[in-house]
Homo-oligomer: A and B are copies of this chain.
Amino acid sequence: MTTRLSHLFLRTLRDNPVDAEVPSHQLLVRAGYIRRAAPGIYSWLPLGLSVLRKLEQIVREEMTAIGAQEVHFPALLPKEPYEATGRWEDYGDGIFRVGDRKAEEVEPGVRRPNYLLAPTHEEVFTLLVKDLYSSYKDLPLNIYQIQNKYRDEARPRAGLLRGREFIMKDSYSFCLTEEDQQAAYDAHRAAYVRIFERLALDALPVDAVSGAMGGSASEEFLYPSDVGEDTFVESPGGYRANVEAVTSVAPEPRDHQHLPAAEVHDTPGTDTIETLVTAANATFPQDEREWGPADTLKNVVVAVISPDGGRQVAVIGVPGDREVDFKRAEASIGAQLGIAGEVSVEAAEPKDLAQQAGGIVPGYIGPGLSLEQPQLGAESATGIPYLVDPRVVEGTSWITGANREGQHVFGLVAGRDFTWDATIESVLVRDGDPAPDGSGPLTTRRGIEMGHIFMLGTKYADALGLQVLDENGKLSTVTMGSYGFGVTRALAALVEANHDDKGIIWPSAVAPADVHLVATGKGEEIYHAAEKLSAELEDAGLSVIYDDRPKVSPGVKFGDAELLGVPTIVVVGRGLAEGNVEVKDRRTGEAVQVPVGEAVAHLRERAATLR
């Protein structure tokens, strides 16, 4: 196939669009692959669509290879199945809801939503299998679709990296036994590895948390990149996890029988860890060593926001040398507080403190001592849930606030002098923290999440009643897995991984063409030769973008070729007088002169090598 630039619906841009900050966003727009239609919503121009379809096809082939069957669900779905699983509410503002003509009209032109644009399709896949299948003989089953997904992101950003309408491949496995489910999970994992191999993209599988999806185990596939929104850690021994899934290495609980009683001391003007440590060493020194921030217990007041917008205050106690990581806290705090769905966590604002946290003395907060101070804890007089970092274990002794302005408690012992409602992972993981599996110190990195695979267990089957008859004729609940692959996000990650300051450098597997043929110069013989070469390349099975624009300068043509990013650029120009064309590698910039008569064979061989 030959695409002529004189005809192609394309406009390249010299400058980056003002709203684009990351390379993939800048380059995909500048090269005329996509255009923004609304925040987080993009239109696909011909070359972009061509790349997208190739990427989809690779995903499709690898799904077929593991026996998964393609289906296609609606994007617009009724709310009832999502109410049955609780996700209609749990998603909060994160999904688009629609009121159809039969929905209650609240005021003219405004209807109460009764449909949604699906953010993911567990519910209806489950219901379809329930509709069609009834026996263990029908299982295991793997089905998938490649579909538009919709999420009403609070902050759509970075072009395709975080969109509101985007394309996902989502697979679902249905099994009766844990072994079959593990096999389906492993097959998907292997398929993802192959997809990334074909894309020549160094994606890393990392342990992850399941979040609002429910389920037991999950892994993400991340492309390491500073523009990614996910943080993950790795150790020299091969441990890798999303930072949200990292478990802290905690000390063993200790006997606290012989520890001295806690004492309250005046510590005026010490409402930061730094001033507190200085004051402690100056006024209440220890014999053996200096007090450090890790000896203090910092109590951070946070607001936990439910899917319905409700705010609840909680206090998290962490060692004073640690910072609270709200995203990590979000992964588990909702479950601990009995809030269904995805919560968000942020620093408490004065309004939160005023409304819900009476008695809290900022800068001097403590979990409570058996004195007259307010106690923290869901069951306490304050009613404020108190959660602690895993490092706060029975028998550890702390300097912490005494809940009075200018006073701290020394030697407050966990389990003896204070209790807590739950332990949660909530502190920022730092470079050098030990890996939980003992494989060495962790390094933190950023990454783009392109895939996420889940063992769902029976959450959806339970909620929607998916049971089949087992070998003994008894009804048995089906166990499920779900496997997402962000097609449009992976496309953006490909550009992040393959570009330079001149433009995109597509891997051959998804490039919009095999060859970008540029004719430069004014002689008719040049255009004749280029025409002939493009026809011969097409006959040889290569796809060609042919820059046949007659009145465009060589500089603009070369610039466009480098911006568009086809792996091989062929120039028919000055060299033609000596019977040569130039064949240039887009990635290395290396160019060779090839006799016109050998060009087709040379390019065919090159394309075969690249593929």
Write the nearest CB–CB distance from A476 to chain B, whole angstroms.
19
Contact string against B for A residues 95-127, beta-carbon threshold 8 Å, 1 for contact and 0 otherwise: 011111100001111111101010000001000
Interface-side segment among A72-80, A266-274, A296-304, A603-611:
A72-80
Q: For chain A residues 36-88, which have a beta carbon within 8 Å of chain B?
A: 37-38, 41-46, 49, 52, 67, 69-78
Write the nearest CB–CB distance from A104 to chain B, whole angstroms.
9
Interface size on A, residues (CB 8 A): 59
**In the complex, what distance in Å separates the CA atom of A184 from the CA atom of B94?**
43
Q: In chain B, what residue has the closest Cβ to A112?
A: B110
Contact: A150 with B71, CB < 8 Å? no
Contact: A49 with B75, CB < 8 Å? no
**Interface membership of A354, Cβ < 8 A:** no
Interface-side segment among A128-136, A381-389, A397-405:
A128-136
Contact: B109 with A69, CB < 8 Å? no
Contact: B117 with A74, CB < 8 Å? no
By a CB distance below 8 angstroms, the chain B residues around A128 are: 35, 43
Q: In chain B, what residue has the closest Cβ to A43?
A: B73
Main secondary structure of the interface of A (DSSP, over half): mixed
By a CB distance below 8 angstroms, the chain B residues around A32 are: 132
Which single member of B35, B141, B164 contacts A9 (CB below 8 Å)? B141
By a CB distance below 8 angstroms, the chain B residues around A108 are: 308
Contact: A76 with B132, CB < 8 Å? no
Given contacts A38-B115, A109-B113, A131-B35, contact A44 B69 (CB under 8 A): no
Q: For chain A residues 8-47, which have a beta carbon within 8 Å of chain B?
A: 8-11, 32, 35, 37-38, 41-46
Total identical chains: 2
**Interface membership of A165, Cβ < 8 A:** yes
By a CB distance below 8 angstroms, the chain B residues around A77 are: 37-38, 41
Contact: B109 with A107, CB < 8 Å? no
**In the complex, what distance in Å separates the CA atom of A101 from the CA atom of B156?**
12
Write the nearest CB–CB distance from A599 to chain B, whole angstroms.
26
Write the nearest CB–CB distance from A417 to chain B, whole angstroms.
43
**Interface membership of A261, Cβ < 8 A:** no
**Interface membership of A93, Cβ < 8 A:** yes
**Interface membership of A351, Cβ < 8 A:** no
Contact: B71 with A46, CB < 8 Å? yes
**Interface membership of A508, Cβ < 8 A:** no
Contact: A96 with B100, CB < 8 Å? yes
By a CB distance below 8 angstroms, the chain B residues around A100 are: 96, 152, 164
Write the nearest CB–CB distance from A42 to chain B, whole angstroms.
7
Write the nearest CB–CB distance from A205 to chain B, whole angstroms.
28
Which single member of B78, B97, B152, B165 contacts A75 (CB below 8 Å)? B165
Q: In chain B, what residue has the closest Cβ to A9?
A: B69
**In the complex, what distance in Å separates the CA atom of A117 from the CA atom of B148?**
13
Contact string against B for A residues 165-177, beta-carbon threshold 8 Å, 1 for contact and 0 otherwise: 1000000000000
Contact: B143 with A9, CB < 8 Å? yes
**Interface membership of A154, Cβ < 8 A:** yes
Contact: B96 with A98, CB < 8 Å? yes
**Interface membership of A7, Cβ < 8 A:** yes
**In the complex, what distance in Å separates the CA atom of A308 from the CA atom of B109?**
9
Contact: A46 with B70, CB < 8 Å? yes
Contact: A10 with B132, CB < 8 Å? yes
Write the nearest CB–CB distance from A1 to chain B, whole angstroms.
9
Contact: A41 with B74, CB < 8 Å? yes
Contact: B73 with A49, CB < 8 Å? no
**In the complex, what distance in Å separates the CA atom of A98 from the CA atom of B133?**
35
What are 19 A-to-B residue pairs whose CB atoms are below 8 Å? A35-B128, A35-B131, A37-B74, A37-B124, A41-B77, A42-B74, A43-B72, A43-B73, A43-B128, A46-B70, A46-B71, A74-B165, A93-B101, A96-B98, A97-B99, A97-B111, A106-B107, A109-B112, A110-B110
Excluding A46-B71, A108-B308, 10 further A-B contacts by CB distance (< 8 Å) are: A8-B69, A38-B74, A41-B74, A43-B124, A43-B128, A44-B71, A76-B117, A96-B100, A96-B115, A106-B110
Q: What 7 pairs across the A-B complex have the smallest Cβ distances?
A: A44-B72, A11-B132, A93-B101, A38-B78, A41-B74, A46-B69, A43-B73
